[in-house]
Amino acid sequence: MALLDAHLRTFQTFGLMAGTEPPNASPTPTTDGKPQTTTLATTDIVVLVIYFLLVLAVGFWSMWKTKRSTVDGYFLAGKNMTWWPVGASLFASNVGSGHFIGLAGSGAAAGIGAVAYEWNGMLMVLVMAWLFLPIYIASGVTTMPEYLQKRFGGKRIQLFLCVLYLFIYIFTKISVDMYAGAVFIKQALQWNIYFAVVLLLGITALYTIAGGLAAVIYTDAIQTLIMVIGALILMAFSFSEVGGFQAVLDKYPEAIPSIRDPNTTCGIPRDDAFHIFRHPVTSDLPWPGVILGMSIPSMWYWCSDQVIVQRSLAAKNILHAKGGSLLAAYIKVLPFFMMVIPGMISRILYPDEVGCGDPVVCKEVCDNPVGCSDIAYAKLVMELLPAGLRGLMMAVMLAALMSSLTSIFNSSSTIFTMDLWRNIRRSASEWELMIVGSQGGQLFIYIQSISMYLQPPITVIFVTGCFWKRTNEKGAFWGLMVGMVVGCTRMILDFIYPTPQCYESDNRPDIIRYVHFLYFSVILTVLTLVVVVSVSLATEKPKPEQINRLTWQTRFDPALEPEEIVASEIYTIDCPAPAIKDKVDSSGSSSSSSTLRTVLFWLCGMEKQKETEKESPSSSSAPLQCSLEEEPCMRHAVNANLLLCISVAVFLIAYWA
C-alpha cells in the first residue's frame, strides 16, 4: 500500500495526463472521523444485477454475430463496424472510472482547469481521423508498432515500442482504473478491495477474451449510454442541491473548511478556479503549456495509441471511422458538466471533508494527509441519490471501469500477439495467435506512473514517420532513445523532488522548480525532433517499400509487388494437430467429445475447417482492407460536422479561457 500511496501522490503532484485517465481515488470517505456506512439498498443491488445481465447479453450477442475465427475478425471486429459503436467505444475507452473520480477531484481541488485535457482531446481525435487514420488504413496494419516496423524497417523500434506500450497500459491505465473502481465498490458495498478487483477482472475477461474487439465495442456502446444517463442524473441532483449553475460560480470561492492553518493557502479555493488559461509561471497549468505542451502527449494518446486507433481501424470504411471520431468528440463536451462541475459542487456542499485544509483532519476524513478532494464524486453519489439511483451510479462506475479495462486488455493482447509473439513464433498458425491473444490481457499490477515523460518522443516518431518521407530508421531510433533517456531522467528527478504541499516550503532545484512539466514536454519534443531530423539527413534515404502507402504523401500510391508475403498479412486457419479434427469411429464414441469441442471452438471464436477448404488455395483469407474512397455526399456531411465540432471546441476553450 505504501507504493500505491506514492502512486496516488504522484498523480496529485503532476496533475492529469493528456488523454489518459485522471488521478486515482482516495480511500473510503468518512464522516466525523468515522467510516462511511452508507451502503446500497436492495433496489440498488437489483439495478446492478440488471446492468451485469445486460452487459453480458450484449457481449454474447456480439460473439454470436461476429466472425471471430480470423485475426481481423478477432482483433479488428471484421473491419465492419459502423460509426456509432466506433464513436461510443472511443469515448468509453478513454473515460474510465478514474475519470469520474479524478476529474471530479480536480474540480473540487483546483476548479475547471483539468477540463482542458478533455477539450484538447476533442480536437486530437479529429486530427487522428482526418490526418493519421488514412495513413494507417493505407498501410494495412493492425498495430501501431507494426506500422513503425513497415515504415522504418528492422525490428528494434517495433519491439521497443510494443514493450513500452504494454508497460504504459499497465502502469497508467489498468492500475488507476482498477483501484478507482475498487475503492468505489468498497465504499458502496463494504467489500474487500481485492475481492472487488478479482470479481471485476473475471467478468471483464469473460467477454473480452471470448468475444474479441467486436464484443468490446458493442459493450462499450451500451456502457457509454449508461455512463451518460447516470452521470447526467447525478449532475441534475447536484445542481438542484446547490441552487443552480450561478450558485456554483458564487459559492465555490467561499467553500473554505472550518479548520485550516491561517498561515498557509491550504483549503482556500484558487482565484483562477474558473479559468482554463492561467498564469504562465506560477500557476498549476500555465497557459502556454496548455496550448503546446498538453497537445503533444494528447496527440500520442489520440493519434498513435493502440487502444484508440484500433477502434477506428475496425470501421467498415473511412467515412464511418470519421463519423465515429465526430461522435466521440461531441460527447467529450460532457465531462465538464458530468464530472468537473459536480466535483466543485461536492466541495461546496461538504467543505470540511472534500475541501479539508489541515493534514490531520484530512488523515481522519480519508486517510490521506495530502487532501480528500478525490472523494468528491463518491460523496455526492452516496449522499444525494435515493435508493435505485445509487445502484444506477454504481453501474455507471462499473461501466466506466469495465469499458476502459476491456479496451486496454484487447489492445494489449493485440500488441502482444501481433508484435511480440509473432516474432518469437514466426510459424504460428492463426489459431495459436488467437489463443495467445486471449491471454495477453491478464496483467495487473499497482505501480507508480511512468508515462509523463515517455509520450513526446513517441509522438515525434509517429509525426515525422507519417508526414516526412525523409525520416529513416536510424533517425527515428536515435531520436527515440535520446528522448527516452532525457525524459526518464526528468521523471526520476521529479520522484526525488516531489512538488511540496501547501504547508511546505519549495526547496527543489531550479530546473525542477521553474520548468513546469508541460514546458518540459515542449523542450523534450524539440530535442527529439532535432535528433530525428539531423540523423535522418546524415544517413541513407528510406527504401521505396518503406515509403509506399506509409506516409501522407504516398497514401494513394499503388501497392508495390511484395517479394514475399509477410506472415502478418495473410493467414490460414490451420489446426495444430489431427486430434482437433472430427473423426468418428464405427462405434460413434467420439460424438460427445466432438460436441464439446464445437462449443469450446465457438466460445474461443475458432471455426473448424472443412477438409476441402483447407486443401483449396482459395481458403487463405487476405487481410480485410478499409477503402480510402469516400462517397461525395457523405464526405461533405462529415467535413461540415468537422468544422462545427472544431468551432464548438474553440468556443468552449475561449469562453472559459
Q: How many CA atoms lie within 13 A of 274 on its CB side?
A: 10
As a three-state string, the secondary structure of 188-202 is HHCCCHHHHHHHHHH
pLDDT classification of 499: cutoffs 50, 70, 90: confident
Average pLDDT over residues 57-83: 63
Q: Output the pLDDT for position 412.
A: 56
pLDDT classification of 23: cutoffs 50, 70, 90: very low
The three cell numbers locating residue 164: 513500452
Winning range, highest mean pLDDT, from 42-56, 101-115, 169-183, 205-219? 101-115
Q: Output the pLDDT for position 192.
A: 62
Question: What percent of the chain has pLDDT above 70?
Answer: 66
* Each residue's pLDDT tens digit, 203-242: 666 655 555 556 677 777 887 888 889 899 999 999 999 9
Average pLDDT over residues 523-542: 96
From 85-94, 277-286, 525-534, 599-608, the region with the lowest mean pLDDT: 599-608
As a three-state string, the secondary structure of 279-299 is CCCCCCCEHHHHHHHCHHHHH
pLDDT classification of 464: cutoffs 50, 70, 90: very high
pLDDT at 156 over 80: yes
> If you search the block for the grid coordinates 458530468, which residue do you land on?
338
Q: Output the pLDDT for position 28.
A: 40
Structural element, H or E, at residue 247: helix 245-251
CA-CA distances (angstroms) from residue 16 to 11, 22, 25, 503?
7, 5, 13, 22
Q: Output the pLDDT for position 193.
A: 58
Asked whether the beta carbons of 183 and 27 are under 8 A apart, the reply is: yes
d(CA 402, CA 430): 27
d(CA 163, CA 181): 26
From 65-79, 556-570, 624-638, the region with the lowest mean pLDDT: 65-79
| β-strand partners of 143 | none
The three cell numbers locating residue 260: 485550516
Helices (H), 282-388: 287-288, 295-304, 306-313, 318-331, 335, 341-349, 359-366, 376-384
- Report CA Rg, the chain: 25
pLDDT at 251 over 50: yes
d(CA 177, CA 159): 26
pLDDT classification of 164: cutoffs 50, 70, 90: confident
Question: What percent of the chain has pLDDT above 90?
Answer: 33
More confident residue, 315 or 422: 315
Domains of the chain: 2-546+633-655 (1.20.1730.10)
